[in-house]
Structure 1
Amino acid sequence: MSEIYEIKERSDDKKLEVFFDYTCPYCYRGHKNLQELMKKYQNLDIIWRPCEAHPRPEEHGVHSDQAICGMYFVLEHDGDLLKYHKLVFEAVFEHNLDISDIAVLADIAEKCAVPKKAFEEALQKGIYQKLVTRGNVYAWSEKDFDAVPSYARGKKKIGSGNGVMVTKDELEKFINA
């Protein structure tokens, strides 16, 4: 999976890379903004780039690494990825659930048309952990973002920072540029 994802999903000017963290409230709002724009721009080609704003071993309430691993499983198994994003964000911000708990994530994944038992096993074995690390390096070191949500198209990028997120209007202008 990692080689396929890394090679097949390279960015270019036609694809929008979306950098986000499931535990970031600005990313939750940014995801809702993006969902609205996706209705208008139905041919928008998106590459989802999850990254951790607070990777382990950094002290933080709930870590998002397991949820990110789950996203890669859903992606690899052709599950409903948009539903997975929505349900994970809702789990954190509306239901106060622990998304570092594999059982919580497995219940979500099952609603996204992927096999629950295989999902649990993959996360328990840490199959996607290298992709989590790679995503962090890509977002914070290679793309040099300060915060999430942030976006890139080829060499162009727009990022949140200094406590201010990319607005829906700014994102739409970036999509149209």
Structure 2
Amino acid sequence: MSDIYEIKGREDAGKLEVFFDYACPYCYRGHKNLMELMKKYPKLDIIWRPCEAHPRPEEHGVHSDLAICGMYFVLAHAGDLMKYHKLAFEATFEHHKDISDIAVLSDIAEQCSVDKKEFTEALTQGLYQDLVTQGNIYAWSEKEFDAVPSYARGMAKIGSGNGVMVTIEELEKFIQD
């Protein structure tokens, strides 16, 4: 498996690890905040760490595991990852689409410069599902975050919790430190 899928051992003090869930409204706001900060810090090196705030079999409105698998497919196939993030969040929170539906995700993926049929097959076959599990373990057990969005750089971390998300000001200070 290529190192783009490695969960453990990828910590780098110079890289910002971004922990998020496509089904989390705070993560959507956090993503918008991060996009604003990336305009000020265009050389910011990011490692995207998707994780499920409510993994199966926990009952929850919409599960994000397939959207996360889709992110890994887009990443592996050199698609437009930033567009995938944007469209997945918008599908959930602006268009009220079900991101646990492969057809919805395939339409998003097609707009991100990857082959729709290959994308659909990969998600149908359960490819990348192990990475979803690894990402959940990494975020919740190893990094010990309480909620998302959360961020890490090397051993330093800042996380949302107790119903309060990391503010854009806190995130910018974290990036600068």
The TM-score range, normalised by the shorter chain, is over 0.9
Where does residue 56 of structure 1 map in the other structure? 56
Q: Mind listing any 5+ residue stretches in structure 2 that lack a counterpart?
A: none
Give the deviation of 1:120 after TM superposition. Answer: 0.2
Q: Scaled by the length of structure 2, what TM-score is found?
A: 0.97
What residue is the counterpart of 1:131 in the other structure? 131
Q: CA deviation at 1:5?
A: 1.8
Match of 2:115 in 1: 115
Cα shift at 1:8: 9.4
Rounded Cα–Cα distance in structure 2 between residues aligned with 1:83 and 1:104: 15
- Structure 1's 106 and 9: CA in aligned 2 closer, same or farther, altered over 3 A? farther
Conserved? CA contact 1:30–1:166, under 8 Å: yes
> Structure 1 CA distance, aligned partners of 2:26 and 2:105?
21
Percentage of identical aligned residues: 80
The answer to whether structure 1 residue 176 and structure 2 residue 164 are counterparts is no
1:89 aligns with 2:89: yes
Q: Structure 1 residue runs of 4+, over 3 Å off?
A: 1-4
Q: What is the letter of the counterpart of residue 76 of structure 1?
A: A
1:145 aligns with 2:135: no
Q: CA deviation at 1:96?
A: 0.4
Cα deviations across residues 98-125 of structure 1 (Å, max 9, x unaligned)? Answer: 0000000000000000000000000000
- For residue 114 of structure 1, what is the amino acid of its counterpart? V
Q: Which amino acid aligns with 1:170?
A: E
Which secondary structure does the structure 1 equivalent of 2:6 belong to? helix
Cα gap change, 1:81/1:9 in structure 2, threshold over 3 Å: closer, same or farther? farther
What 5-or-longer segments of structure 1 have no aligned partner?
none
1-structure distance, mates of 2:139, 2:133: 10
Instruction: Name the structure 2 match of 1:18.
Output: 18
Report the count of equivalent residues.
177
| TM-score normalised per structure 1 | 0.97
Which residue pairs with 1:43 in the alignment?
43
Q: Assess if the C-alpha contact under 8 Å between 1:9 and 1:47 holds in 2.
A: no
What amino acid maps onto 1:168 in structure 2? Answer: I
**Quick check: 1:2–1:131 contact (8 Å CA) kept in 2?**
no
Residue identity opposite 2:26 in structure 1: Y
The answer (yes or no) to whether the contact 1:145–1:159 under 8 Å persists in 2 is yes
